[in-house]
Structure 1
Amino acid sequence: MISLRSRKQYRKRSVQRKNLRIATMEGIPAVMFMTLLGGQFLTGFMLYLGANSSELGFVLAITTFVNIAQLFAAFLIQRLKSRKWTLVLFVALHRILWAGTGLVPFVFPKPYWVIAFIILYTIAFMFNTVGGILWNSLISDIVPARVRGRYFGIRNTMLNALGTLVMYAGGMILDHEPGGKGFLILYVIVWICIAANITMFFFYPDMPFERSSESKFIPMLKKPLKDRAFLKATLFLGGFLFFQNLVVPLYSYVMLQLLHINYQTLSLLNVAQTVFMMGSFYIWGNLNARYSNRRLLFWTLPIIALSCLLWGLLSVLPMLPVLAAAHIIFGIGVGGFNQLAFNFMIGDTPKGERPMYMAMYAAITGVAAFFGPLIGGHVHELIQGWPVWTQIYGMQLIVGTAMLALTATLGRRILRDT
């Protein structure tokens, strides 16, 4: 005979598995439309609209700057009766407005294409800041702590594998149908995926919410600010992301505009990056069972810095092998960084205060990451008359060296020895 307690545990595990399947299935259309609207496709579409490097830098930066709004969202969700339905609302607004950028060439005169895109894109990501913190809060309750590392490792691997296929297919479409027709095909696929993604959120569970012990905004805001270990780590990671974002978001611009690489080749480079990032999830996940999130975060940093420095080999070695090596090394490093930073936010913070901790992390790193591509885009404009090598890999060499120096000094004290 099966005891009553055993039956209850079985039902609980069955419900948990169902919820995990829903969260995984929701990610499938999400990764498809995000792949086709971001990265090289975002850069290519903006260049098609007529954007320059400064405008591109602003668009790449604004998604992180609006994360400041998460501080207020973290306070407001304490008063929500339902995280799920508020999440559905903000997710739908974000997706619909982002997909609406594809209508810009059909609705606005050509001189207003870039500004119209920027306005729609910015508003979309303002809604996404609220949706993002709601999703992080909800998913941390959906995924049991004991399987969190394994689940996100499998989910990330599967979704990134799909993302590589979509990325390559998107590159082939744009090479076969360059210009407006190619982007129209991509946006039709995007609209279908967004409809499916929004629908999947209706099946999310509305989990019980452990609320903060504080009821007012300022005391709640002070909780992560008084946590010295958390604050020091977050400020340091924000500084590192500032340097990283001076160059990395503009890689596609450099390759498309200065190295004249076609979309299919660019897709293959990004596929190689993603494949190695996927493989690294398993390695970082196993290491995470033995070492702390912070210590492993430290070891991802010199790997990311090395990927920037490898661009300097363009001066002596063939272009494609160098770019492939730089993308592969970056994939290994950033895969570990993203996975461990997420675990750091949801695993190393008190559960009741987790929304404000996550919001503080997003706000600090978001502001730092905002100024990176913004300044990087302006620098590219300023050095247009300089020797070509300074525009192609000069900034990467300077930034990579700065990242290594930052890691070896502050990073060693703040992360590795924590």
Structure 2
Amino acid sequence: MKTSKECINIKAVQVIHKPRKQVSHQRKHLMTATWEGVPAIILQTLLGGPFLTGYLLYLGAESSEVGFVLAVTTLFNVLQILVAYLIQRLQYRKKAMIVFTFMHRILWGATGLIPFIFPERWWVPVFMILYMGAFIANTVSGMLWTSLISDMVPAKVRGRYFGIRNTILNALGALTLFVGGIILDRYPGGGGFLILFMISWIAIAANLSMFFLYPDPPFEHSSERRFRAMIRKPLSDTMFIKSTLFLAGWLFLQTLIVPLYSYAMLDVLHISYSIVSIMTVAQTVIMMIGFYVWGNLNARFSNRTLLYWTLPLIAGSCLTWGLLSVLPVIPVLLLSHMLLGAGVGGFNQLAFNFMIGDTPKSERPMFIAVYSSITGFASFLGPMLGGLIFKGIAHAPDWVSRYGFQTAVGVVMVLIALTVGRRVLRSA
């Protein structure tokens, strides 16, 4: 019979050697997806947004060329329909996703070497070739990632998880924007952009390594085998296609001006990189808060209803530019970017949840492809036309290019939201 002292010692040993609670595989996968986003947001921030516009201006691009570069990535979304059909041959998705992600990251990162390899007259054409090649690869990898992440994240926590993930990543993105703006102001021209690309190359290496930690669950294939029958599924879903067509029209209006905010600030209003970065940081901070708020609201309201609520915020961002006629530049642009952060952040997150949450799992790749193709084509036309309009109004009265065009687009967006948007999204 054990003494009381022996019993105490045995219990102490049991406490010390008590196995720790195992972290579930599902939770590990969600943590992996979050950590993978850390280097991804760094390279996307430093190679995209206002820094992409600034780099294009440094290479000698005109407004129409800037508009083309900002738009062409969305045009490639049309290829997703073919990709959605071809990936049905896959049993697993991870290896193909890594290959195409590698191609995207390497080609995009290689654009930083252009000034060191090619004569100046070739800078813009070579950039466009590399950039387009990168985002053709991204069309494939993005489709595979979206399909994979929709299987990784349970439907019941999807809104909250992406809200938290996007909040964390955009906080880092805001910090990266701020630091990048300081670097470009301290080292203007090629030296500053070289530093940004060096940081991006490190982020690319880290990002690619994280994808190897992703799970590789079996791919649930479509019930259809023929291309025509497969694409008929989303096209015959009345509620889905009505919402998609409306959102495409909205994105066309939005991308007439929003992607060119940085161009308008840098080339029309002649604002410094650091101020532009601060504006984008303010937008990102509000977006970051919004991700959490929209994610929680998504547990109570449908994706379509919440999408409708984001429309007035985006329209208000464009309308705010009209205040430049009576108020100082910085406060007006700050308000515009804050409204944009609240609206676009919610719109993008909810549109993503709409694609992966409101669609049948086995047919999801084709639903995603149809949505991305239709909205992508509209988002391609928007910046293209917007860039041409900015070029055409260069010799118009100063107020037209400073705030007139932006305000006019905002007025049209308000009217569309209150009429067509209300019927399509609120009734869905």
TM range (shorter): over 0.9
AA partner of residue 337 (structure 1) = F
CA offsets per residue over residues 30-87 of structure 1, 9 Å max, x none? Answer: 0000000001000000000000000000000001000011101111111113200000
Q: C-alpha root-mean-square deviation of aligned residues, in Å?
A: 1.2
Query: In structure 1, what is the Cα distance between the partners aligned to 2:307 and 2:21?
Result: 37
CA offsets per residue over residues 147-199 of structure 1, 9 Å max, x none? Answer: 11111111100000000000000000000000001000110001110011111
Query: In structure 2, what is the Cα distance between the partners aligned to 1:89 and 1:341?
Result: 26
Identify which of 216, 219, 223 aligns with 1:213.
Answer: 223
Deviation of 1:130 (Å): 0.5
**1:6 equivalent in structure 2:** none
AA partner of residue 132 (structure 1) = G
TM-score, length of structure 1 as denominator length: 0.96
Query: In structure 1, what is the Cα distance between the partners aligned to 2:346 and 2:224?
Result: 33
Query: In structure 2, what is the Cα distance between the partners aligned to 1:88 and 1:292?
Result: 33
| Greater gyration radius | 2
AA partner of residue 289 (structure 2) = G
Identify which of 355, 375, 398 aligns with 2:385.
Answer: 375
**2:411 equivalent in structure 1:** 401
Does 2:337 align with 1:327?
A: yes
**1:152 equivalent in structure 2:** 162
Deviation of 1:11 (Å): 9.8
**1:64 equivalent in structure 2:** 74
Identify which of 34, 38, 42 aligns with 2:52.
Answer: 42
Query: In structure 2, what is the Cα distance between the partners aligned to 1:351 and 1:209?
Result: 10
**1:267 equivalent in structure 2:** 277
TM-score, length of structure 2 as denominator length: 0.94
Query: In structure 1, what is the Cα distance between the partners aligned to 2:403 and 2:21?
Result: 57
Query: Contact 2:160–2:299 at 8 Å: present in 1 too?
Result: no
Long gaps (5+) in structure 2 = 1-19
Identify which of 306, 309, 327 aligns with 2:316.
Answer: 306
**1:140 equivalent in structure 2:** 150
Deviation of 1:13 (Å): 6.6
**2:10 equivalent in structure 1:** none
Please identify, of 78-87 and 90-99, the stretch whose mean Cα deviation from structure 2 is larger. Answer: 78-87
Query: In structure 2, what is the Cα distance between the partners aligned to 1:379 and 1:182?
Result: 30
Does 2:183 align with 1:184?
A: no
Query: In structure 2, what is the Cα distance between the partners aligned to 1:289 and 1:193?
Result: 33
Query: In structure 2, what is the Cα distance between the partners aligned to 1:318 and 1:201?
Result: 46
Identify which of 78, 86, 89 aligns with 2:88.
Answer: 78
AA partner of residue 44 (structure 1) = G
Query: In structure 2, what is the Cα distance between the partners aligned to 1:284 and 1:21?
Result: 21
CA offsets per residue over residues 354-409 of structure 1, 9 Å max, x none? Answer: 01001111000000000000001011111111011101111111111111111111
Query: In structure 2, what is the Cα distance between the partners aligned to 1:200 and 1:212?
Result: 29
Query: In structure 1, what is the Cα distance between the partners aligned to 2:358 and 2:65?
Result: 37
**1:28 equivalent in structure 2:** 38
**1:3 equivalent in structure 2:** none
CA offsets per residue over residues 87-113 of structure 1, 9 Å max, x none? Answer: 000000000000011111111110010
Query: In structure 2, what is the Cα distance between the partners aligned to 1:241 and 1:316?
Result: 29
Secondary structure (helix, strand or coil) at the match of 1:386 reads coil
**1:410 equivalent in structure 2:** 420
CA offsets per residue over residues 269-322 of structure 1, 9 Å max, x none? Answer: 111101011111222122212211101101101110011000000000111000
AA partner of residue 389 (structure 1) = W
Query: In structure 2, what is the Cα distance between the partners aligned to 1:412 and 1:258?
Result: 35
Q: How many residues align?
A: 409
Query: Contact 2:71–2:381 at 8 Å: present in 1 too?
Result: yes
AA partner of residue 347 (structure 1) = G
**1:253 equivalent in structure 2:** 263
**2:250 equivalent in structure 1:** 240
Query: Contact 2:318–2:336 at 8 Å: present in 1 too?
Result: yes
**1:5 equivalent in structure 2:** none
**1:223 equivalent in structure 2:** 233
Query: In structure 1, what is the Cα distance between the partners aligned to 2:39 and 2:158?
Result: 22
**2:363 equivalent in structure 1:** 353
Instruction: Report runs of 4+ in structure 1 exceeding 4 Å deviation.
Output: 10-13
Query: In structure 2, what is the Cα distance between the partners aligned to 1:55 and 1:61?
Result: 10
Query: Contact 2:265–2:271 at 8 Å: present in 1 too?
Result: yes
Deviation of 1:12 (Å): 9.8
Map residues 83-122 of structure 1 onto 2, 5 A cutoff. Answer: 83-122=93-132
CA offsets per residue over residues 197-250 of structure 1, 9 Å max, x none? Answer: 111111111012211000111110111000010001000000000000000111
Query: In structure 1, what is the Cα distance between the partners aligned to 2:229 and 2:316?
Result: 41
AA partner of residue 329 (structure 1) = L
Secondary structure (helix, strand or coil) at the match of 1:290 reads coil
Query: In structure 1, what is the Cα distance between the partners aligned to 2:76 and 2:211?
Result: 23
**2:375 equivalent in structure 1:** 365
Secondary structure (helix, strand or coil) at the match of 1:33 reads helix
Cα 1:56–1:281 shift into 2, 3 Å: same
Please identify, of 13-22 and 56-65, the stretch whose mean Cα deviation from structure 2 is larger. Answer: 13-22
